[in-house]
Amino acid sequence: MSDNFVTVTKRGRPPKGERPMSDSERKRAQRTRDRRAAIDAIGDEQNASLRALLAILTRLEKSEPARLSAQRAWAEIGRRYGFVSVTKDKQRTEKTPSGYNE
């Protein structure tokens, strides 16, 4: 009999660094990426992800520039999903469909 041992490696992507990330480290990295994406989305709302646009909306009451950025983010969300109409000369918000009849 031969004493040759074969090591079987695990399938999937190898860990970055010495060991795999723990759950809390992975979540911390995700939050950091989300914050970075939200910061990068300010001023470039057309190319931002929905998650980044929603993060911009949470900063609504921080300052005047944040309010204007949130307004642009809301207009972009509305443009993507068809409930806000944006014209060239003036941004206009149409009536949002709701279940309440007034």
Asked if 91 and 85 count as a contact pair (C-beta separation under 8 A), the reply is no
Mean pLDDT of 91-97: 53
pTM of the entire predicted model: 0.59
Mean pLDDT of 88-97: 54
Question: What residue has token string 């009451």?
Answer: 61
Q: What is the pLDDT of residue 44?
A: 87
**pLDDT digits 0-9 by tens, 21-38:** 889 999 999 999 999 998
Q: What is the pLDDT of residue 95?
A: 56
- Structure-model confidence comparison of residues 43 and 92, the more confident one: 43
**pLDDT digits 0-9 by tens, 75-88:** 999 999 888 765 66
Give backbone dihedrals phi and psi of 61, rounded to 5 degrees, phi first. -100, 10
